[in-house]
Structure formats: structure tokens, C-alpha cells
């Protein structure tokens, strides 16, 4: 008797095979039930696909019908898998309505997912990207939860922010770093600060990557994802004893880039908690407090409080004074401009001064 198992996309219950075997042997369901000591109704339910074949039943069928037990359990397993796959496809079909929340095109550009026009394939690609069984589970995964704690802003997608975090995490895993060393990071801060004066921002980024990697920090720069409105994030990959600074190239303003960088470094130095910090608004007062502390760290490191006080008290804010002040602190003039604008000492509409606020061109 042929007992090979053929894989199929159709969910065929092993009861159909049992019925064929009984017909070939000329054995009735009642006789089989008497031989294995089971009610005839139980045999009938197996044949009709209403009851599964357990390992015990498989052994009993082997004794009576001489068909090996592994054939019965294999058929049962195959049936359950095919059935589960069909249910999964149905579930993914329902999840296609969630695709609007994810920046799929951005992930395609970066090579994280494949190009496809089929919605159900996009769902499958996103499940693989996030390593989740259902897209709705993303919110419940610790690594992505901070994205869903960001205060409500217009035109943002929490799923898009989670996507950005995961893209950064995957990129960070590719970067080789030394074990994380906070003291070494502190010691390197002046050297990192000097890098901002390099002519080409892409050279600066390469230098930052090398310096940070030497003290156990993976530095990742990603394009801005639609509906994220996030400039930076900090988290750890504990299994690799590695901290991660993730930044976007949104806008390209040099002052925002450097402030965001030292903001994220501030989180690493100031905050011990194994948390993902997103440079964005939080409704949680405790998280907002940590954001404020990281902001203060970046402000005071780039422009020391006493220096800023002396400079602003002179009340002379022209190109010459700003460039001179920046040169003395070994920072870009745009840092000074950005600080003055943030403190509302000058306005964003001051075009004569805002020309010092340069924008970077990135090699993507």
C-alpha cells in the first residue's frame, strides 16, 4: 500500500486517508472500532475531519492497519499546519488595512523589505522585519513601545516611529564596537565636538562613527521616515554590551544635527535605565524630565551657561559677534544662531543672521 505524504496547500484531514485504507482492506468503521477499543462514533468523527488523530490513536491504527504511526501523525501535522497557514493568510488579509500606518516605501529604499504591489505580501514582509506574528503585536513588544508613548502630534504615525527604531536597531547590529565604556565616552566628548568643524558632514559622520564605536556606541544615521517627526533616539543592545545613537537626516540643519547628537549622548551619560529615549514630546512627566535633562546637557556642553550669559548681556547680535563667539568656543556659528532662536533672543525671520544657519548635504 502506498503511504507517501504529499505536501499540499489544501487542508486534507487524515480521516480521508483512513477512509481509503478501510475501503481497500474491506474493513468497516465498526470493526475498526472493535479492534482498537474505541467507540464507532470516535472513528466516524476522525473520518469526517471532526476529530484529530493523537499519537496514541496513531499507534493503535498502526497495530490494526499496519500503516506506520508516523504516517498518521505526519498527516495530522501537515493538516494542522496547512489549516493554520490558511488562517494566517486570512489574518494578514485583515491586517492589510494597517499598511497605511507604515512607511513601507522608505524600507524598500533601504533594502529592508522587498518591492511588491501585493498588500498581503507587504504585511508578510513587515512581520518578518519586526519579527512578530501579527502586526498588532508591535505595540506590545518592549523594543517598540516607546514609539507609542510619544505625545500625540498631528500627522505622525506611531507605527512609523517603531519602524524607524527597528531599522536603526538592525543597522546598529551590523556595526562592530568595543564594549560600552561610559568613562571613555566622557573623555572623548571634546574630540567629538571638534569634528563639527570639518568641511564635509559626511567626513564628520565617519569620524563620529569611529570615535563612538571605540567606546561601545553604534552611531546610525537614517533618512527621515514619513510621519515620524523624530530627530534622534538612544537605546541599548544589551546582548552585545552596546549603546546605540540613532539619528535622522531630516531637514539637514547643522545646529539641529549637532544638538541632537549631544542630546542623545546626554541620555547615555546621564540615564542608567535600560530605556529607549526618543527625541520627541512625552506625556509621561518622568520621561519628559529625562528629556529636559538631556537638553540641558547638550545646551551646556555646546555653549557653557556662563559663556552664553556674558555673550547675551552684551546685546550685540550681528554676524561678526556671532562668528567670533562661535570661533572662541570651537563650534559652528549655526549652533549659536540656533540657541539664540530657541531662547527667542532673535527670530527665525531674521534672514541676515539665519544665513549662518547652514544645511548639510548628505551622501545617501
Which pLDDT band holds residue 327 (cuts at 50, 70, 90)?
very high
201 pLDDT higher than 50: yes
Task: Report, as an integer, the average pLDDT of 56-72.
Answer: 96
Which pLDDT band holds residue 36 (cuts at 50, 70, 90)?
very high
Query: Strand ranges (DSSP E) for 139-231?
Result: 217-222
pLDDT at 150: 78
Task: Report, as an integer, the average pLDDT of 96-122.
Answer: 96
R_g (Cα) of the chain, nearest Å: 31
Which pLDDT band holds residue 6 (cuts at 50, 70, 90)?
very low
Which pLDDT band holds residue 2 (cuts at 50, 70, 90)?
very low
pLDDT at 7: 43
Output the CA–CA distances (angstroms, integers) from residue 251 to 18, 162, 248, 362, in the order listed: 67, 20, 9, 11
CATH numbers and ranges of domains, the chain? 14-96 (1.10.260.40), 102-302 (no CATH), 303-364 (no CATH)
pLDDT at 20: 95
CA–CA separation, 226 and 232 (whole Å): 14
Which pLDDT band holds residue 274 (cuts at 50, 70, 90)?
low
C-alpha cell at 52: 484529530
Task: Report, as an integer, the average pLDDT of 228-255.
Answer: 88
Task: Report, as an integer, the average pLDDT of 240-244.
Answer: 93
10 pLDDT higher than 70: no
Looking at every residue in the chain, the average pLDDT score rounds to 90
The counts of H helices and E strands in the chain are 16, 4
Q: What angle do CA 196, 217, 102 make, to 5 degrees?
A: 90
113 pLDDT higher than 90: yes
The secondary structure of 280-334 as a DSSP string is S-BSSHHHHHHHHHHHHHHHHHHS-HHHHHHHHHTT--SHHHHHHHHHHHTS-HH
Output the CA–CA distances (angstroms, integers) from residue 268 to 138, 170, 275, in the order listed: 25, 19, 10
Structure-model confidence comparison of residues 279 and 147, the more confident one: 147
Residue 149: how many other CB atoms lie within 10 Å: 15
Task: Report, as an integer, the average pLDDT of 86-113.
Answer: 94
101 pLDDT higher than 80: yes
The H-or-E segment that residue 63 falls in is helix 55-65
Amino acid at each position: 500500500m502506498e503511504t507517501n505524504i504529499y505536501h499540499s496547500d489544501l487542508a486534507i484531514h487524515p480521516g480521508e486517508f483512513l477512509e481509503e485504507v478501510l475501503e481497500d482492506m474491506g474493513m468497516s468503521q465498526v470493526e475498526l472500532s472493535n479492534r482498537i477499543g474505541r467507540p464507532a462514533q470516535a472513528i466516524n468523527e476522525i473520518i469526517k475531519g471532526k476529530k484529530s488523530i493523537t499519537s496514541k490513536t496513531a499507534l493503535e491504527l498502526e497495530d490494526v492497519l499496519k500503516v506506520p504511526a508516523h504516517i498518521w501523525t505526519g498527516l495530522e501535522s501537515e493538516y494542522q499546519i496547512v489549516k493554520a497557514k490558511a488562517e494566517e493568510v486570512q489574518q494578514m488579509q485583515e491586517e492589510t488595512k494597517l499598511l497605511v500606518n507604515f512607511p513601507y516605501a522608505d524600507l524598500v529604499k533601504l533594502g529592508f523589505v522587498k518591492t511588491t504591489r501585493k498588500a498581503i505580501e507587504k504585511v508578510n514582509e513587515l512581520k518578518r522585519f519586526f519579527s512578530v506574528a501579527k502586526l498588532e503585536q508591535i505595540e506590545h513588544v518592549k523594543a517598540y513601545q516607546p514609539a507609542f508613548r510619544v505625545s500625540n502630534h498631528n500627522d505622525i504615525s506611531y507605527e512609523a516611529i517603531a519602524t524607524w527604531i527597528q531599522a536603526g536597531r538592525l543597522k546598529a547590529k551590523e556595526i562592530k564596537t568595543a564594549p560600552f565604556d561610559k568613562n571613555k565616552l566622557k573623555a572623548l566628548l571634546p574630540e567629538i565636538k571638534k569634528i563639527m568643524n570639518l568641511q564635509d558632514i559626511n567626513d564628520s559622520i565617519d569620524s563620529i562613527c569611529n570615535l563612538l564605536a571605540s567606546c561601545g556606541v553604534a552611531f546610525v544615521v537614517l533618512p527621515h521616515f514619513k510621519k515620524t517627526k523624530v530627530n534622534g533616539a538612544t537605546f541599548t543592545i544589551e546582548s552585545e554590551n552596546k549603546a546605540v545613537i540613532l539619528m535622522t537626516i531630516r531637514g539637514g540643519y547643522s545646529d539641529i544635527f549637532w544638538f541632537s547628537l549631544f542630546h542623545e549622548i546626554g541620555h547615555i551619560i546621564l540615564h542608567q535605565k535600560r530605556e529607549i529615549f526618543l527625541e520627541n514630546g512625552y506625556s509621561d512627566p518622568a520621561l519628559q524630565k529625562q528629556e529636559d535633562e538631556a537638553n540641558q546637557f547638550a545646551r551646556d556642553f555646546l555653549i557653557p551657561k556662563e559663556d552664553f550669559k556674558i555673550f547675551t548681556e552684551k546685546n550685540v547680535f550681528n554676524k561678526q559677534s556671532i562668528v567670533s563667539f562661535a570661533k572662541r568656543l570651537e563650534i559652528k556659528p549655526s549652533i549659536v544662531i540656533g540657541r539664540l532662536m530657541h531662547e527667542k533672543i532673535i527670530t527665525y525671520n531674521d534672514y541676515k543672521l539665519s544665513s549662518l544657519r547652514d544645511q548639510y548635504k548628505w551622501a545617501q
